[in-house]
Structure 1
């Protein structure tokens, strides 16, 4: 693999990130559209971290900090680049960001059915907290393609 570079996303990356998530991420989010990605970048310019190798987008993680919680979403690695340290490098960058902002603990959203992801998070030192459950309420109607 070419040298890995981790950088923050900018507004011009939105379409590429969305295409990347279709091939590399598990599941979908209500925010998986250009407005969602550009809104994230505009609101918190350092939150969306991208990994590139040889000019190719090979990984992403959203490392959002609201002053209270350090939240991790959309850790995804291109299938052809898995098990090569991309996720580790992204999480390292996310954790450094959180510490610099005063964060105390990282919380990750991980799909119950994604055993591969659960192993990745465990290997990075994260553990499941069974006493919490996510509660959601849609605030908008989903966009139809």
Structure 2
């Protein structure tokens, strides 16, 4: 699979790439009839979300995409009553932000590249409950051709 365009995250004023798709769960559960168009093999989901961590919470602050019918999709497409941001109350999981240099050559799979560090945010119903910096090593990289199944 082609490496995918990442989501965007702003944290403490710094703009970063986000190797997690927090909106996917909401779309799968709440918007069954809302379909996006893949305009590129590097954007199969059809949208890029912009996120912000502020006051210990995760917010969706923007959405740029194309609906299946060709119409432009924005934050108000998914959340019609939203003003400028939406608390990610549906999301429970880990946000991954790659940091530092890439530890191996390009990996031709979605978000599979390994970097020196991963900044990880544990999120529970939109609340950031833990933050940690993970130091990765080249030995953490597994070649999919070496997996026996």
Q: Same fold (TM over 0.5)?
A: no
TM-score by length of 2: 0.27
Structure with the largest fraction of helix: 1
Higher Rg of the two aligned structures: 2
> 1 or 2, which has the higher strand percentage?
2
TM-score, scaled relative to structure 1: 0.28
